[in-house]
């Protein structure tokens, strides 16, 4: 989202600083500024020129050779294709070296054989509008040689490109007024409040007391919570003022006409979407907010046909739908050049409902993006009045017909949270000391109501922060921290007791499997999506399709339902890798989903591994790995041939990891994995016909285990944690002579029997064959006392004791 600092300055006077310093400070306090842009700088590099001559181009019918005089900026001739060139006309001239908003720098260039130096410009080429109908014609106030910035009384505008992801939880920041409030708080300067009670009374006085020509009805089953509407007659549709067009362009919106531009301008200012109808498009004098009620097609303003479902909400008149609520208007609902009477809509919709419809239809707009954030319903009236203010300003003869119509929830009953905030908790979470006066100052600057209590504050949350944003004291402390400045909090080590975290059995089992597969299975871990498409299940031939576990608003058909097993997606990943590698092993641990008997979802934790080779089967590698894995995990397991799998009635026992009727099981290379005497998984080489479905060559053997069957039975965590030592260790190496049959363990045991309690460990550091049946074994002894640093005298005595003990055991010290 783009924020115009020129617009921000309407509401707050910021201290002088560079644009980059401003962006950095705002990033630290509020949201991430991705880029600092400068709009309008080109106007300082372009000049007013007059056309002094026009000649036809000798080699192009649609081009002309235009001579110009730009005063001190120079005289010359350019090749021009504009249809409105006329001698004596004053136009903008951009000399060679000018960088235009379109992204290129002007250079001398031959056009159809004629050298052209510079350019006479249209409005879009200067970033003033999107008009490209001809050269921008300047009025009589333009003086030859003056810059376009002087002519338009314009200065370059700093535009901040904000990262949208950093404000997804802040619906109040999707408009310039909300952003200005943040700037005021961040820089500790006053916020101008033009939309005050006096302004409200003035704007409401423009409404009559009689019935509006258009009534408003909101059905309770729609996504609409509140709806304001009113009618204005006597408007004229034309171009909006230059200042409005420039601000819209700075923010990335294309100016269209004076009415549409007002609608977009107020949305960018207040953060509240709205819609302005041509009143003639509203039949039977009524606006009805309702569900569609049945499937039907709807043509939106972009001339695309959209398919609506029964539960989608629309703004309709007495005959037909006019707008997809909160998303986009219909083709015939917008204003035209002949519009003289408009109906203004400002509404509040349920965020989840708009998101659901927008996602399913596949249409994301500036309006829907804002509604999805859960907008403040208390912003509806100020937005409606601001639109009226601009309509009357740009159309002096216009007037309101009737009263301000409203239907929806009782806005006076909306209550915002009051949160008890303890000062001790602020200091505990932030890790620094803050004066109470500073805390109150920060919160009041952000428009929170603050009153003191014995232990801290009672804070009332403003309505624009109460829509799924600030809900508890931790949220308030975050506000205090970011405005105080996280960079201003002194760095210090944490002061709390550090305790060992014991992982639950299922997670420790997963970690053990990961360690084994990487260290002993030489396998790479992969992660596939838990969402899957029906096409892939059909391709693999997987029996269970999870028809009951489909997503209501899937992003695509390929991610339309929960996966029943790891195998389909995992096998697809293995097939993809087989095109790049001749041999590899990979594994995954993840959830599989299925419907239970009561129609609910049942989750299982699964393990899958693949052993691939382009030339030979790795079935035995997989079987050996599975056997070693069970030993590593200390599980009572064994591998069983499928033909041995019989229940008491002679039927094959079901396998929880791979259905026995899966067509991908190899008829000769497959084994069941039994844990505690019951099937818990399977090893199988993938059937060649299934591999052929993926156009994959070679052999792929799978191991699949249902970890849910035994993950609670894994061995307990016996790890003993000790505090980090406060005193140093001392290391002593000595070498003894041993015979060919002497064991190093016996030497270490002899050293440990020296009776030195400060001896924390002994290990073999080196072994050297001396020949003649003798070996030199270097023992490394480590001394440590947790209560003090060991003295030199003690270490000397301890070393003598070690040597004496090993010599008595028959291992003399190597002297030479």
Does the pLDDT value for residue 646 go beyond 80? no
Q: Give the confidence band of 644 by pLDDT, cuts at 50, 70, 90.
A: low
Q: What is the pLDDT of residue 75?
A: 92
Q: What is the pLDDT of residue 648?
A: 46
Q: Give the confidence band of 92 by pLDDT, cuts at 50, 70, 90.
A: very high
Tell me the torsion sign for CA atoms 531, 537, 539, 540. positive
Q: Which residue do the tokens 């270097």 mark?
A: 778
Those residues with Cβ within 8 angstroms of residue 157's Cβ, 6 or more apart along the chain or in another chain:
4, 5, 6, 38, 39, 40, 246, 250
Q: pLDDT tens for residues 498-527?
A: 777 778 889 999 999 999 999 999 999 999
Q: pLDDT tens for residues 202-245?
A: 999 999 989 999 999 999 999 999 999 999 999 999 999 989 98
For residues 574 and 611, is the Cβ–Cβ distance under 8 A? no
Q: Enter the DSSP assignment of 348.
A: E
Does the pLDDT value for residue 538 go beyond 70? yes
Does the pLDDT value for residue 291 go beyond 80? yes
Q: Can you list the domains of the chain with their CATH numbers?
A: 2-40+158-187 (3.30.56.10), 41-155 (2.40.50.140), 197-413 (3.50.40.10), 418-488 (3.30.56.10), 505-713 (3.30.930.10), 730-808 (3.30.70.380)
What is the rounded average pLDDT for all residues in the chain? 91
Q: Give the confidence band of 715 by pLDDT, cuts at 50, 70, 90.
A: low
Binding site residue list: 469, 475, 478-479
Cβ-based burial of 508 (10 A; exposed 0-12, middle 13-18, buried ≥19):
middle
Q: pLDDT tens for residues 37-86?
A: 888 888 999 999 999 999 999 988 889 999 999 998 999 999 999 999 99
How far is the CA of 338 from the CAs of 234, 236, 257, 330, 394, in angstroms? 11, 8, 12, 18, 16
Q: Quote the CA–CA distance of 440 and 432 in Å, as a whole number.
A: 16
Q: Give the confidence band of 587 by pLDDT, cuts at 50, 70, 90.
A: very high
For residues 205 and 402, is the Cβ–Cβ distance under 8 A? no
Within 10 Å of residue 371's Cβ, how many Cβ atoms? 27
Please give the helix or strand (H or E) that residue 436 lies within, else none: helix 436-445
Cβ-based burial of 735 (10 A; exposed 0-12, middle 13-18, buried ≥19):
middle
How far is the CA of 162 from the CAs of 17, 200, 298, 543, 655, in angstroms? 19, 31, 34, 48, 53
Q: What is the pLDDT of residue 649?
A: 46
Mean pLDDT of 484-488: 92
Q: Quote the CA–CA distance of 529 and 536 in Å, as a whole number.
A: 13
What is the maximum span of the chain, computed from C-alpha positions, in angstroms? 119
Does the pLDDT value for residue 643 go beyond 70? no
**For the chain, what percent of residues have pLDDT higher than 70?**
98
Does the pLDDT value for residue 297 go beyond 50? yes
How far is the CA of 272 from the CAs of 174, 267, 402, 795, in angstroms? 8, 5, 23, 78
Mean pLDDT of 641-650: 55
How far is the CA of 455 from the CAs of 443, 449, 458, in angstroms? 17, 17, 10
Q: Quote the CA–CA distance of 592 and 612 in Å, as a whole number.
A: 23
Does the pLDDT value for residue 730 go beyond 70? yes
DSSP-assigned letters across all residues of 548-595: GGB-TT-S-GGG-EE-S-SHHHHHHHHHHHHTT-SEEEEEEEEEEEEE
Q: Quote the CA–CA distance of 697 and 230 in Å, as a whole number.
A: 69
Q: Where are the alpha helices (DSSP H) in 121-167?
A: 148-152
Crossing angle of helices 436-445 and 423-430, rounded to 10°: 90
Q: What is the pLDDT of residue 124?
A: 86
Q: pLDDT tens for residues 325-349?
A: 999 999 888 899 999 999 999 999 9
Those residues with Cβ within 8 angstroms of residue 613's Cβ, 6 or more apart along the chain or in another chain:
582, 583, 698, 699
CA 366 to chain centre: 17
Does the pLDDT value for residue 807 go beyond 90? yes
Mean pLDDT of 762-772: 91
Please give the helix or strand (H or E) that residue 612 lies within, else none: strand 601-613
Answer with the residue of higher pLDDT: 38 or 107.
107
Does the pLDDT value for residue 155 go beyond 90? no
Q: pLDDT tens for residues 409-424?
A: 999 999 999 999 999 9
Those residues with Cβ within 8 angstroms of residue 568's Cβ, 6 or more apart along the chain or in another chain:
532, 536, 537, 539, 540, 542
For residues 569 and 535, is the Cβ–Cβ distance under 8 A? no
Q: pLDDT tens for residues 660-696?
A: 999 999 999 999 999 988 899 999 999 999 999 999 9
Please give the helix or strand (H or E) that residue 507 lies within, else none: helix 505-519
Q: Quote the CA–CA distance of 681 and 89 in Å, as a whole number.
A: 85
How far is the CA of 132 from the CAs of 56, 66, 92, 96, 336, in angstroms? 21, 18, 14, 21, 20
Range among 358-367, 387-396, 646-655 with highest mean pLDDT value: 387-396
Within 10 Å of residue 615's Cβ, how many Cβ atoms? 9
Query: Which candidate, 594, 606, 558, 638, places its Cα nearest to that of 702?
Result: 606
Indicate whether this model's pTM tops 0.85. no
Q: What is the pLDDT of residue 163?
A: 87
Q: 638 — phi, psi (to 5°)?
A: -155, 165
Within 10 Å of residue 753's Cβ, how many Cβ atoms? 12
Q: Quote the CA–CA distance of 537 and 137 in Å, as a whole number.
A: 64
Binding site residue list for Mg(2+): 469, 475, 478-479
Q: Give the confidence band of 652 by pLDDT, cuts at 50, 70, 90.
A: low
Mean pLDDT of 188-197: 96
Mean pLDDT of 486-497: 82
Lowest mean pLDDT among 49-53, 98-102, 589-593: 98-102
Lowest mean pLDDT among 54-58, 163-167, 577-581, 607-611: 163-167
DSSP-assigned letters across all residues of 794-816: HHHHHHHHHHHHHHHTT-PBP--
Q: Quote the CA–CA distance of 356 and 377 in Å, as a whole number.
A: 20
């Amino acid at each position: 989202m783009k924020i115009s600092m020129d617009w921000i300055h309407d509401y707050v006077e910021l201290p002088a600083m560079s644009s980059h310093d401003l962006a950095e400070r705002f990033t630290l306090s509020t949201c991430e500024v991705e880029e600092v842009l400068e709009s309008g700088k080109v106007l300082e590099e372009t000049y007013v020129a007059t056309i002094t001559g026009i000649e036809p181009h000798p080699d192009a019918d649609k081009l002309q050779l235009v001579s110009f005089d730009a005063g001190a900026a120079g005289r010359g001739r350019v090749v021009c294709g504009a249809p409105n060139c006329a001698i004596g006309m004053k136009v903008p001239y951009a000399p060679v070296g000018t960088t235009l908003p379109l992204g290129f720098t002007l250079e001398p260039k031959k056009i159809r054989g004629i050298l052209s130096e510079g350019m006479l410009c249209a409005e879009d080429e200067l970033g003033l509008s999107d008009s490209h109908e001809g050269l921008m014609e300047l009025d009589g106030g333009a003086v030859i040689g003056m810059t376009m910035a002087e002519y338009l009384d314009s200065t370059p505008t700093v535009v901040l490109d904000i990262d949208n992801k950093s404000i997804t939880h802040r619906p109040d920041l999707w408009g310039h007024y909300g952003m200005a409030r943040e700037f005021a708080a961040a820089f500790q300067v006053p916020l101008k409040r033009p939309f005050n009670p006096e302004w409200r009374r003035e704007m409401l006085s423009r409404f009559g007391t009689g019935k509006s020509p258009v009534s408003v009805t909101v059905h309770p089953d729609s996504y609409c919570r509140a709806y304001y509407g009113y009618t204005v007659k006597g408007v004229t549709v034309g171009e909006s003022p230059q200042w409005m067009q420039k601000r819209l362009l700075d923010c990335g919106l294309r100016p269209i006409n004076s009415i549409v531009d007002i609608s977009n301008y107020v949305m960018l200012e207040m953060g509240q979407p709205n819609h302005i109808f041509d009143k003639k498009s509203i039949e039977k004098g009524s606006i009805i907010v309702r569900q569609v009620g049945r499937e039907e097609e709807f043509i939106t303003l972009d001339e695309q046909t959209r398919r609506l479902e029964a539960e989608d909400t629309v703004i309709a008149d007495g005959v037909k739908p006019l707008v997809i609520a909160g998303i986009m208007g219909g083709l015939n609902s917008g204003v035209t050049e002949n519009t003289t009477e408009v109906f203004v809509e400002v509404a509040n919709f349920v965020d989840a409902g708009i998101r659901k419809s927008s996602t399913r239809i596949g249409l994301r707009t500036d309006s829907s993006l804002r509604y999805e954030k859960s907008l403040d319903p208390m912003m509806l009236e100020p937005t409606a009045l601001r639109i009226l203010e601009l309509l009357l300003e740009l159309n002096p003869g216009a007037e309101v017909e009737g009263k301000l119509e409203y239907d929806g929830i009782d806005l006076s009953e909306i209550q915002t949270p009051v949160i008890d905030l303890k000062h001790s908790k602020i200091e505990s979470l932030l890790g620094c000391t803050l004066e109470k006066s500073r805390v109150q100052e920060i919160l009041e600057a952000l428009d929170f109501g603050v009153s003191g209590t014995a232990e801290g504050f009672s804070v009332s949350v403003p309505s624009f922060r109460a829509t799924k944003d600030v809900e508890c004291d931790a949220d308030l402390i975050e506000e205090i921290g970011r405005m105080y400045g996280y960079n201003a909090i002194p760095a210090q080590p944490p002061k709390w007791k550090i305790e060992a975290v014991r992982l639950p059995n299922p997670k420790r089992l997963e970690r053990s499997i990961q360690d084994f597969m990487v260290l002993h299975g030489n396998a790479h871990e992969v992660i596939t999506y838990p969402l899957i498409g029906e096409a892939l299940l059909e391709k693999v031939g997987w029996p269970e399709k999870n028809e009951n576990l489909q997503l209501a608003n899937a992003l695509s058909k390929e991610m339309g339902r929960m996966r029943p097993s790891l195998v389909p997606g995992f096998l697809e990943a293995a097939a993809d890798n087989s095109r790049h590698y001749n041999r590899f092993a990979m594994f995954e641990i993840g959830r599989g989903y299925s419907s239970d008997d009561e129609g609910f979802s049942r989750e299982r934790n699964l393990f899958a591994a693949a052993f691939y080779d382009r030339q030979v089967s790795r079935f035995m590698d997989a079987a050996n790995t599975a056997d070693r894995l069970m030993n590593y995990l200390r599980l009572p397991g064994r591998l069983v041939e499928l033909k041995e799998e019989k229940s008491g009635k002679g039927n094959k026992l079901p396998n929880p990891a791979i259905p026995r009727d899966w067509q991908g099981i190899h008829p000769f290379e497959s084994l069941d994995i039994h844990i505690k005497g019951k099937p818990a998984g399977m090893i199988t080489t993938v059937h060649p016909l299934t591999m052929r479905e993926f156009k994959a060559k070679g052999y792929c053997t799978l191991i699949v285990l249902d970890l849910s069957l035994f993950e609670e039975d894994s061995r307990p965590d016996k790890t003993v944690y000790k505090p980090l030592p406060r005193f140093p260790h001392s290391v002593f190496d000595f070498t003894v002579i041993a015979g060919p049959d002497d064991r190093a363990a016996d030497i270490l045991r002899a050293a440990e029997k020296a009776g030195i309690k400060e001896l924390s460990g002994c290990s073999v550091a080196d072994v050297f064959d001396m020949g003649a049946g003798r070996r030199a074994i270097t023992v490394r002894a480590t001394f440590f006392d947790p209560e003090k640093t060991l003295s030199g005298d003690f270490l000397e005595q301890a070393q003598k004791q070690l040597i004496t003990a090993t010599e008595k055991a028959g291992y003399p010290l190597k002297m030479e």
